[in-house]
Amino acid sequence: DVKVTQSSRYLVKRTGEKVFLECVQDMDHENMFWYRQDPGLGLRLIYFSYDVKMKEKGDIPEGYSVSREKKERFSLILESASTNQTSMYLCASRTTGVDYGYTFGSGTRLTVV
Amino acid sequence: KNQVEQSPQSLIILEGKNCTLQCNYTVSPFSNLRWYKQDTGRGPVSLTIMTFSENTKSNGRYTATLDADTKQSSLHITASQLSDSASYICVVSPGIPGGNKLTFGTGTQLKVEL
């Protein structure tokens, strides 16, 4: 089974801190994604990457950046955390091909105080 | 604007009963539609995926249907169990070139009680 591992289940950070969320997948997928999930809003795409060192903005990239130095690892960076970035963050990876087999990590619940 | 709407927002049923969750979408062009189950505090897990040419897909007690003409899908759960308590999310994938930007519904929160 494909595994997508997010390094932290829960994080509490202070306003203004730089925050790193790490995601690793073990199936050599080209495509990786970062979403945030908020009640009543569904999942919203922050950034995605279709190859090493490649990245594209999703629907809500403001306040975030990403890094993909190795194929298996995709990092989400909050340059200066703010309270409105308190959320559940989900990483996903995808096969290429018709069925677009997305696999999600277990999520990181980030609280910014 | 691409949208996915799910109903009901929440649902409570007794163990052993069946239920049906609805999903209507406006995504066009359309590539495929997925149903995910998300347990509280966990990431979504795929239940079914259907392309526009498929009408039904089963995964154990879960059966999804798709009507691409009316842009409607449903997820039917048979003989519910307590472990079915979760949020069920409908996700639509656009046809290329928008292929990496999924549109997510906000989910139906299902609670199965004794």
Name the residue with tokens 């009507």.
B67
Quote the pLDDT of residue B27: 84
**Per-residue CA distances from B114 to A16, A88, B109, B111 (Å):** 47, 30, 17, 10
Residues of chain B positioned with their CB less than 8 A from the CB of A60: none
Separation of alpha carbons B98 and A29, rounded Å? 19
Chain B residue closest in CA terms to A43: B104
Report chain A's mean pLDDT, rounded to a whole number: 92
Contact A100 B104 (CB under 8 A): no
Least CB-CB distance to B106: which of A41, A45, A99? A41
- pLDDT at residue B71 above 90? yes
Nearest chain A residue to B89, by CA: A42
- What's the gap in Å between the CA of A52 and the closest CA on chain B? 16
Q: Say whether A4 and B51 touch across the interface (CB within 8 A).
A: no
The pLDDT value recorded for residue A97 is 66
* Amino acid making up residue B41: G
The predicted pLDDT at position B52 comes to 83
Which residues of chain A neighbour B107 with C-beta distances below 8 Å? 42
**What is the distance between the alpha carbons of residues A113 and A109, in angstroms, rounded to a whole number?**
13
* Closest partner CB to A107 (pick from B42, B49, B105): B42
Q: Are B13 and B110 in contact (CB under 8 A)?
A: yes
User: Average pLDDT in the A80-104 region?
Assistant: 87
Per-residue pLDDT at B76: 98
* Minimum distance, in Å, between the CA of residue A17 and any CA atom of chain B: 24
Adjacent-strand bridge partners of A22: A75
Other C-beta atoms lying within 10 Å of the C-beta of residue A55: 18
What is the arithmetic mean of pLDDT over A1-26? 93
B4-20 per-position pLDDT tens digit: 999 999 999 999 999 99
Given an 8 Å threshold on Cβ–Cβ distance, is A4 in contact with B34?
Answer: no
> Alpha carbon A18 to chain centroid distance?
15
Residues on chain B touching A56 (C-beta within 8 angstroms)? 100
- pLDDT band for B106, please (50, 70, 90 cuts): very high
The residue type at B113? E
Residues B110, B114: Cα–Cα separation, whole Å? 13
Say which of B32, B41, B89 has its CB closest to residue A100.
B32
Backbone angles phi, psi at A61, to 5 degrees: -80, -10
Of B113, B91, B114, which is closest to residue B38 (Cα–Cα)? B91
Q: Is the pLDDT of residue A100 over 80?
A: no
Query: In A28-106, at which residue ranges do the beta strands (DSSP E only) sit?
Result: 31-38, 42-49, 56-57, 64-70, 73-78, 87-94, 102-104
Contact (CB<8Å) B100/A56: yes
Question: Is residue B84 left, alpha or beta, with left meaning phi > 0 and alpha meaning psi from -120 to 50?
Answer: alpha
Tokens of A93: 């990876």
The one-letter amino acid code at B86 reads A
Omega of the bond prior to B29 within 30 degrees of 0, cis? yes
β-strand pairing of A10-13 with A108-112: parallel
